[in-house]
Structure 1
């Protein structure tokens, strides 16, 4: 028996796809948890401005991915944001540095970490995204 979630054929998401989404949220939550929580728990002193911003954003992303384990479709905008910002960063920042031969080790580490995003488009249910975020009528303005 194949269970589908959603309304209408374009908005249906298979149970398998829901499990794949949950697996993606779990992968991100575990990976970020290993990276972020020790930084937060073991920090001694204050962070530099941008380091503090990054750590707080990563912690917020971690929390939203944990929530995605329970609500994988409702938390899709979080994954869409991740795909968008990493793609933009890879194209506008990393690619020109690489093409000009100016890629340093720190940037290359960020590139390696960011390339995990290449699996996201294969797991995101694009027909659901299109049906619920493009074709669906938006809320009224007034």
Structure 2
């Protein structure tokens, strides 16, 4: 049950690389040359996204150890799509900027489950005994 096929590991590596490059290209330029107003509105989010980009690099070397990062990605994107994106879409209230976020998050909600090794996750995160509390 511990064995994950090499093709799956390489698929995970490709996904970590996609996250790294995508976030770096999306957020890097605005972080490097920002205005004070942008920093006040988006500085924390930009820093968070670039932090995820940097940490995703670890997934290239340790794809299974970094699975919680992909589970977190899937979780927040699913929550955003369900709680913010879909209600705005149903009410025809998507602005162009929000629509871009909606499509990007929706793509993550669709692609991430296809990449994740679910048997490995179930075995290692749900079926194994928890670590001791004391």
With structure 2 as the length reference, what TM-score do the two structures score? 0.92
Give the superposed CA RMSD: 1.3
Q: How much does 1:106 deviate? A: 1.6
Gaps of 5+ in 2: none
Q: How much does 1:20 deviate? A: 0.3
Q: How much does 1:115 deviate? A: 2.2
1:126 pairs with 94, 103, 118, which one? 118
Q: Quote the residue 1:15 is aligned against.
A: 6
Q: Quote the residue 1:136 is aligned against.
A: 128
Q: Quote the residue 1:75 is aligned against.
A: 66
| Divergent runs of 4+, >6 A | none
1:65-104 to 2 correspondence within 5 Å?
65-104=56-95
Greater fraction helix: 2
SS of the residue 2:123 aligns to: helix
Q: State the aligned residue count.
A: 132
Q: Which structure is larger by alpha-carbon Rg, 1 or 2?
A: 1
Q: How big is each residue's C-alpha offset from its partner over 1:11-35, in whole Å with a ceiling of 9 and x where there is no partner?
A: 3200010000000001111111111
Q: Quote the residue 1:39 is aligned against.
A: 30
